[in-house]
Structure 1
């Protein structure tokens, strides 16, 4: 299993637009084969900081996800909405 933690700081005036796109991304990603879990979290202290925490069966599932239509159409739109972002992949030890 591989866990992805993708954190973004969203421009304050773009939060609602981000939320709508992110909700669709979560909904569609959760349907994918190989997806164990896929959720979005809002930071309690920083209302424009969001983190996707995803669990995938393996790298093959992640590669398919990265090529999925919902991913390739929604994720590029995030670029104009965020101030910064980080993506890290983890494996359980």
Structure 2
């Protein structure tokens, strides 16, 4: 199993639009072979000193059965459509692909 942490920086004022498009795609992703978990999250302010809050960042927590399943996911037709739909409202994307130690 692998885990993915995707950080998506959304343009100012576009968070709700991004989340609507992203959430509409979740059912298709969850039906993919090898998908275990696919959840968007947003920062919540706390009193923790080391916390960095970014109100324009969506962190997507994913679990996949294998790297191959993740790679197939990125090529799926609904993902190509999703990327095209959000391309004008996303500033940056960073991925961490991890396995348990």
Q: 8 Å contact 1:10–1:48 — kept in the other structure?
A: yes
TM-score by length of 1: 0.88
Q: CA deviation at 1:80?
A: 1.6
Q: Partners of 1:85 and 1:23 in 2: how far apart?
A: 17
Q: Which has the higher helix share?
A: 1
Rg (Cα) greater in structure:
2
| More off after superposition, 15-24 vs 49-58 | 15-24
Structure 1, unmatched stretches of 5+, are none
Q: Partners of 1:79 and 1:87 in 2: how far apart?
A: 16
Instruction: Give me the CA root mean square deviation.
Output: 1.4
Q: Partners of 2:7 and 2:87 in 1: how far apart?
A: 13
Q: 8 Å contact 1:7–1:87 — kept in the other structure?
A: yes
The residue aligned with 1:61 is: 69
Q: CA deviation at 1:52?
A: 0.8
* SS of corresponding position for 2:33: coil
Structure 2, unmatched stretches of 5+, are 45-52
Q: Partners of 2:72 and 2:39 in 1: how far apart?
A: 18
Q: Deviations over 1:25-79 (max 9, x none)?
A: 2221111111111100011143221011110000121122112111111023333
Q: Partners of 1:9 and 1:66 in 2: how far apart?
A: 18
